[in-house]
Amino acid sequence: ATPTALMVGTGRGAQLGILIKGPEVLEQTRRITTIVLDKTGTVTEGKMWVADVVTAAGTDLRELLHLAGSAENASEHPIARAIAERAHTEIGRLASVESFTNRAGMGIEAVVDGHAVVVGRPATLESEWGLRFPPDLTAAREQAEARGQTVVAASWDGAVRGIFVIADRIKQSSADAVAELRQLGLTTVLLTGDNARTAAVVAAEVGVERVRADVLPSDKSAEVARLQQAGEVVAMVGDGVNDAPALAQADLGLAIGTGTDVAIEASDITLVSGDLRAAVDAIRLARRTLRTIK
Ligand code: ADP
Ligand code: MG
C-alpha cells in the first residue's frame, strides 16, 4: 500500500504542475522546517529593466550609455541584458568589446574603444576595483534601494561615471505564497546576491522573515549548509544557474520550471509554473499523502 500511495501522490503532484523526481521525495518534503527563497526570478519575475540612468557630474549621458551598454552587451546576465537594451534603444549601434571578463555576482570588466570599463555592484566596485563611489550619486542610489530596486555603477578609466537603476517586479502570487508557507509552520529566508537594503525591502513586501543578502553565487550553498548545521531541514527554491549548488545542497530542492535547465537538474521537484504557491501545494500534498500511509 505504501508504494501505491506514493505513486498516487506523485501523480496528483503532476496534475498540480509539481513534477516530483521520485517517491522518496515526498518524505523529504514532509520533514522540512525552513524554506529558502532565491530573490531574483523566484520571488520576483526576473525580467529586469532600466528604470533610471543617472550620470555623475561632468559625465555625458550618451557616452555612459555607449560604454556601459557595449560592455554589458557581451554578458548574458539579466541586468546586463537590460542595460544593453536600454543603450541600444537610446543610441543605436553598440561597439564590440576588445576584452571581457565576467566576475560572477559582482559585475563585468571590458575594454571598449580603448577605455577600461567596469560595471557592477557599487560595493564591489569599491572593494574589488578600488573605485570611489561619487558622493553626488549617493542620494539617487539610496532612494532606488529604498524602493527595492538594484543599483549598478558604471566606471571607466578609474572613475565611477554613473548608475543604472534596475527594476524588477515582485510576482503577484509571492506574498500569498509566503503567508501560506509561514502558516504551514516554516521559517522563510530570502537568499540573494543583491545588496542588503534592496533585499530587505523585497522581503518586507512579501513577508519573508529572514534575509541573507550580498551572498556570492559560490556561497549560496554554504548558506544552506549553515542552516542545516543549525538543525533545520532546508528546502530551497531557485531558478538560476547560480542556485544549482544550493538546490543540490538543500534537503529538498525546488526549481522554478521557467528557470534554467541546470537548476531543474539539481532539484528534486520542478514547479512547472513560476507561481510560488505550487511550493505550498507540494508541501500540503506530501503531508496528506504520508498521513494516509500511516
Ligand atoms: P542574484 O542572486 O540576485 O541572482 P547575482 O549573484 O547574479 O544576483 O548578482 C549579484 C549582484 O552582482 C547583482 O545584484 C549586481 O549588482 C551584480 N552583477 C552581477 N552581474 C552583473 C553584470 N553583468 N552587470 C552589472 N552588475 C552585475
Ligand atoms: Mg534567481
Q: Which structural domain range is residue 16 located in?
A: 2-45+170-293
Q: Backbone dihedral region of 112: left (phi > 0), alpha (psi from -120 to 50 degrees) or beta?
A: beta
What is the pLDDT, as a whole number, of residue 1?
A: 42
What is the pLDDT, as a whole number, of residue 293?
A: 57
**Average pLDDT score, the chain:** 94
Structural domain ending residue among the three candidates 143, 167, 191: 167
285 and 176 in a common domain: yes
191 and 145 in a common domain: no
**Which of 29-38, 207-216, 280-289 bottoms out in mean pLDDT, i.e. has the lowest?**
280-289
Q: How far is the CA of 121 from the centre of ligand 1 (A)?
A: 7
pLDDT digits (tens, 9 = 90+) for 235-275: 999 998 899 999 999 999 999 988 899 999 999 999 999 89
239 and 138 in a common domain: no
* ipTM given for this complex: 0.96
152 and 7 in a common domain: no
175 and 158 in a common domain: no
288 and 174 in a common domain: yes
Active site residue 38: yes
Task: For residue 238, report the phi and psi dihedrals to the nearest 5 degrees.
Answer: -155, 170
Structural domain ending residue among the three candidates 118, 152, 167: 167
Nearest protein Cα to ligand 1, atom 5: 105
Q: Which residues are bridge partners to 153 per DSSP?
A: 120, 163
CATH number for 133: 3.40.1110.10
Mean pLDDT along residues 226-230: 97
Is pLDDT above 90 for 195?
yes
Structural domain ending residue among the three candidates 101, 133, 167: 167
The DSSP-derived string for 147-192 is TT-EEEEEEETTEEEEEEEEE--B-TTHHHHHHHHHHTT-EEEEE-
Mean pLDDT along residues 174-193: 97
Task: For residue 72, report the phi and psi dihedrals to the nearest 5 degrees.
Answer: -70, -20
230 and 188 in a common domain: yes
54 and 41 in a common domain: no
124 and 80 in a common domain: yes
Nearest ligand to the C-alpha of residue 123? 1
In total, how many domains does the chain have?
Answer: 2
Is pLDDT above 50 for 189?
yes
220: confidence class by pLDDT, cuts 50, 70, 90? very high
159 and 74 in a common domain: yes
Mean pLDDT along residues 159-185: 97
257 and 196 in a common domain: yes
CATH number for 189: 3.40.50.1000
3-state secondary structure of 144: helix
Mean pLDDT along residues 112-139: 95
User: What CA–CA distance (Å, rounded) separates 77 from 74?
Assistant: 9
Q: How far is the CA of 96 from the centre of ligand 2 (A)?
A: 28
292: confidence class by pLDDT, cuts 50, 70, 90? low
| Contact status, residue 242 vs residue 259, Cβ threshold 8 Å | no
Task: For residue 116, report the phi and psi dihedrals to the nearest 5 degrees.
Answer: -85, 105
Q: How far is the CA of 12 from the centre of ligand 1 (A)?
A: 37
DSSP character at residue 233: -
| Contact status, residue 276 vs residue 42, Cβ threshold 8 Å | yes
Ligand 1 pocket list (CB less than 6 A): 39-40, 72, 75, 77, 79-80, 105-108, 119-121, 150, 152, 192-194, 217, 240, 242
Mean pLDDT along residues 132-145: 96
User: What CA–CA distance (Å, rounded) separates 235 from 248?
Assistant: 10
Mean pLDDT along residues 168-184: 97
Angle formed at CA 45 by CA 233 and CA 84, multiple of 5 degrees: 125
Cell of 42: 523566484
223 and 236 in a common domain: yes
